[in-house]
A and B are shown apart, each in its own frame.
Chain A
Amino acid sequence: QVQLVESGGGLVKPGGSLRLSCAGSGFSLSDYYMTWIRQAPGKGLEWISYISTSSSTIYYADSVKGRFTISRDNAKNSLYLQMNSLRADDTAVYYCAREVLFGMVSFDSWGQGTLVTVSS
């Protein structure tokens, strides 16, 4: 069955870096646009970044632009999020999700999330 599994979360100090991974199974990642969405404790959903099937088009939220980098390796059926210069307000559960058509915001499969805690 279709599954997305995030990994790489953990505790990191302010100013530190972390790389999240999202492994897809049961489908070909290359057929889907992919996104990262986060949710701070007790808060709502916040979109972070979006990447096209071939990586030719990438979008970032203003809150992470210049600090986070999204990438994908279709051969490995995987999505990544490199997070640098982390701040306390980056603390959240990070989800990866997929959609088949660009810009529809119809994310039909989500991972279980990975928790990132930024604290000294």
Chain B
Amino acid sequence: QSVLTQPPSLSAAPGQKVTISCSGSSSNFRHGYVSWYQQLPGTAPKLLIYENDKRPSGIPDRFSGSKSGTSATLAITGLQTGDEADYYCGTWDYSLSAGVVFGGGTKLTVL
């Protein structure tokens, strides 16, 4: 059971927009920034979004992030077949067992 809750899977057609939700709690989201990672099959995760809505250099603006209260959202517009991957949200948890927490991951299928 992950501390952060994501939908296990989503699917959409090429060119469409998809949003992936990530739900947390007051011990993490209220105080921390959210990051998003993309993991293509057989590869290490890659940072997509940090500090809720910032993109590292090289990440196209088709990817955007937002956070409100105890939830966050990753939006991907103009879906491409190369976007088919697992997506994870992550943040710092300030509970007694402080540390990094991740969502369970969302498998995105581009039909």
Are B33 and A44 closer than 8 Å at their CB atoms?
no
Size range of the chain B interface in the assembly: 20 to 34
Instruction: Give A44's nearest chain B residue, CB to CB.
Output: B105
* A95, B39: Cα distance in complex, Å: 13
Are A104 and B33 closer than 8 Å at their CB atoms?
yes
A-B contact count (CB 8 A): 66
Instruction: Give A110's nearest chain B residue, CB to CB.
Output: B44
With a CB–CB cut-off of 8 A, which chain B residues contact A46?
A: 102
Please list the residues of chain B having a beta carbon within 8 angstroms of any beta carbon in chain A. 2, 32-35, 37, 39, 44-47, 50-51, 56, 86, 88, 90-92, 97-105
Are B45 and A95 closer than 8 Å at their CB atoms?
yes
Q: Smallest distance from the beta carbon of A108 to chain B beta carbons, Å?
A: 5
CB contacts under 8 Å to B, within A27-51, are 35, 37, 44-47, 50
Are A105 and B103 closer than 8 Å at their CB atoms?
no
Known contacts A47-B102, A60-B99; is-contact A112 B2 (Cβ 8 Å): no
Instruction: Give B39's nearest chain A residue, CB to CB.
Output: A45
